[in-house]
Chain A
Amino acid sequence: MKKRIRNIFSGLLMLCLCFTMILTLPMQAQASDGSSYVYDGYTYDFHGNAKESPAMFQLERIISRENMGGVALSSVDDVCTSDDGRIFMIDTTESRMNVFDSDGTLLFTTRLVRAVDGTIALDENGNQIMLNAPEGVFIHEKEQEIYIADTGNKRIVVLDMETYGLLRIITAPEELIGVTQFVPSKIAVDLADRIYVVVQSSYEGILELTREGEFSGYYGVNTPMVSLTDYFWKSIASDEQKAQMAKVYAPAFNNVTLDGEGFIMAVTYDSSAADMVFRLNSKGENVLRQEGNTMVRGDIWTMSSSDTGSQFVDIAVTDFGTYALLDRAKGRIFLYNFDGELLNAFGSLGNLKGEFKSPTSIAWLGDKLIISDDTLNYIYILTPTAFGRAVLEGNESYYFGDWDEALVSFEEALTLNANYEAAYSGIGKNYLMKEDYETAMYYFKMGNNRKFYSKAYNGYRGEWLERHFLIIMVLFIALVAAVIYSEIRYHKQSKIKAKAAMKLMNSRRGRAAE
């Protein structure tokens, strides 16, 4: 009896345990191959509905204080990668640049800059060259140079990529015009060795310097949004009143990078800016392609009045034009292809593994993403999931014109996520290139891509008309013949009627004459 009760009791306990285990299991979005991800992803469909999607990336490794081997690490403000797989990280609080290999092993760390031969470098006043609260780093692959924005000292320090020795120092150019102070924060160097320097809160644009550090002008147009009420009040105000009103300044650029074709790409998180992401041509105009379902501005819906929408702190571009935007407001990463189609959005703010606190910077390392966080002082290394790899490969093949490979990759992406409009469109474009219009139309319809559907339909309609040309021609001729016949008949009948009427009149006239 006692034993039975104990059995029942332990059975109940087991049942309870099972239930709690089921309930406490983390709920995660799963791809149809069964592998689970840390992140939940989504995209927007044509109608602006958020559609769940597997995330394109998963957490591989975190580089943190433990990787530093005793060297202090107090904040992670900027990361940059080189083609040989090194990760360059800027620690503003400790005024250090740390270099890791792709496994997270510390290769080099510096605060005191040395000359190429290893001796301590001195500036023209004979002082040691120490970094002071640097904020940005950029790798210039063409010349094998590291550019560090030494913000606290208001200068740019250029190091050699191999020896980490000092090559030169760029200080405030004498010809600098305007009110912008030379306080470099983020740097990019283009293929013609021009240096682009972002100064936070400068409304004059990006500083453009020559390789020698001479000022050559301000670059980039960041138009502010003009609100209708402001416009109204300005239009009725007197000159004295206008002078007292707050001026509308152009919003500042907040980060800058170089894309695969040598264009400068920049982001801003100023809420008064009309655009948030820029691809600047040589005149400084924004030529970013925005052909996708949504504009390139991250989240398209705001949840409350305090919701600022996405705030992009950094941008990273691949060789094939696909770029990742880092949103500090919600800790999300948005991936767009070169056409401006949203590929995937994932990530969140929080305390769980893989979540961010205050993300600051993003970079590509091959097909991996490197993200830095200056509250947790982590560098996250994310690798593409099976879905992410398929999407990235598809876009890469499509960008370089390998249609068949793109088709394979997009089909794989579709098996993992059947709601993925970008992949349907990609497959459709492939069939359109092969002039298989009917299949292309099917895929464009699934992908809600009206512009390309119309192109495919144009081809389909042309082929249809060609195939049925004979019967259309016969019908047309028959119609024309029928019209002519009826006209003739009508004419004849009216002639007969007129004759009869004439006769009647004549006879009447005759009778009247009698």
Chain B
Amino acid sequence: MKERVWSTVKEKLFYLKSSVFHPFDAFYEIRFRGKGSIFLAVFILIFFGILQCVSYQYTGFVINTNDLSSMNSISIFLTWVLGFVLFIVSNWSVTTLLNGKGSMGDILKVVCYSLVPLTCTLIFQVFVSNFIILEEAMIVYVVTGIGVVWSLFMLLAGLCVIHEYGFGKTLASIFLTFVAAAIIMFLGILFFTLIEQMVVFVISVGQEFIRRL
């Protein structure tokens, strides 16, 4: 039993690694042979959110222009994590309409797995930026830039594979994803405003009632 768990973990980690270096093949395995892990994906996402808080505060002073006196780690964490959750939800909503074959879980796995290169370069940035001068900051920026490009490539490759799309259609679906995200945010704000008005109404009716008694 213990060995079986261990071997499963090893396999999942192996496919995480190979998704970084061979995204098309690895995401194919993940999508069609169940080699991915939702648990691992969520773990990466949460780790990424925490890492963003860490980088906000602990990136070296020379390139860290954040106002630390007004730092709010909960807001940073939620902004990043909910941003990706919003992307996943809206991508799923768009691709279901556009004959995408990927399920919500598949999209989650692809999005979170493709954060791995960015996470690694971010760790590099936080560490190295504490030992550099302004003239060497370019090195850190270049490495982070490579991480961003790599992650974007993984994301594109992964979405291509899981939805069984061509490259052009993937790009179009990502554009529509952002449109859908905007609509979702609009609806969310509308919802909360209306709920607030309703709550205020109920409270004022209650107060009126208590005063008349």
A→B interface (CB under 8 Å): 46-47, 49, 445, 450-451, 453-455, 457-458, 461
A457 touches B65 (CB 8 A): no
B67 touches A445 (CB 8 A): no
Q: How far is the CB of A459 from chain B (nearest CB, A)?
A: 10
Q: B22-64: contact bitstring with A at CB < 8 Å (1 yes, 0 no)?
A: 0000000000000000000000000000000000000001110
Q: How far is the CB of A39 from chain B (nearest CB, A)?
A: 26
Task: Provide the bound-state CA to CA distance between A445 and B65, in Å.
Answer: 11
A445 touches B133 (CB 8 A): no
Task: Provide the bound-state CA to CA distance between A99 and B48, in Å.
Answer: 71
18 additional contacts (CB under 8 A) given A47-B67, A457-B133: A46-B65, A47-B65, A49-B67, A445-B61, A450-B61, A450-B62, A450-B63, A450-B65, A450-B134, A451-B134, A453-B61, A453-B62, A454-B62, A454-B133, A454-B134, A454-B135, A455-B133, A461-B131
| B133 touches which of A46, A47, A49, A461 (Cβ 8 Å) | A461
Task: Provide the bound-state CA to CA distance between A461 and B136, in Å.
Answer: 13
| Known A450-B134, A451-B134; contact A457-B67, beta-carbon cutoff 8 A | no
Chain B, residue nearest A45 (CB): B67
5 sampled A-B residue pairs with Cβ under 8 A: A47-B67, A450-B63, A451-B134, A453-B61, A457-B62
B→A interface (CB under 8 Å): 61-63, 65, 67, 131, 133-135
Q: How far is the CB of A456 from chain B (nearest CB, A)?
A: 9
Q: How far is the CB of B141 from chain A (nearest CB, A)?
A: 15
Residues of B within 8 A of A461 (CB): 131, 133
Residues of B within 8 A of A49 (CB): 67
Chain A, residue nearest B63 (CB): A450
Task: Give me the 10 closest cross-chain CB pairs, A-B, nearest first.
Answer: A454-B134, A47-B67, A454-B133, A458-B133, A454-B62, A450-B62, A457-B133, A445-B61, A453-B61, A453-B62
Residues of A within 8 A of B67 (CB): 47, 49
Residues of A within 8 A of B131 (CB): 461
Residues of A within 8 A of B135 (CB): 454
Q: How far is the CB of B92 from chain A (nearest CB, A)?
A: 38
Q: How far is the CB of B58 from chain A (nearest CB, A)?
A: 14
Q: How far is the CB of A31 from chain B (nearest CB, A)?
A: 23
Residues of B within 8 A of A457 (CB): 62, 133
Q: How far is the CB of B151 from chain A (nearest CB, A)?
A: 28
Residues of B within 8 A of A455 (CB): 133
Interface centre among B65, B67, B133 (most CB of A within 10 A): B133
Residues of B within 8 A of A451 (CB): 134
Task: Provide the bound-state CA to CA distance between A72 and B10, in Å.
Answer: 96
Residues of B within 8 A of A453 (CB): 61-62
Task: Provide the bound-state CA to CA distance between A49 and B61, in Å.
Answer: 19
Chain A, residue nearest B62 (CB): A454
Task: Provide the bound-state CA to CA distance between A47 and B63, in Å.
Answer: 14
Task: Provide the bound-state CA to CA distance between A458 and B137, in Å.
Answer: 13
Task: Provide the bound-state CA to CA distance between A99 and B67, in Å.
Answer: 51
Task: Provide the bound-state CA to CA distance between A435 and B131, in Å.
Answer: 19
Task: Provide the bound-state CA to CA distance between A458 and B132, in Å.
Answer: 8
Residues of A within 8 A of B63 (CB): 450
Task: Provide the bound-state CA to CA distance between A445 and B135, in Å.
Answer: 18
Task: Provide the bound-state CA to CA distance between A450 and B59, in Å.
Answer: 13
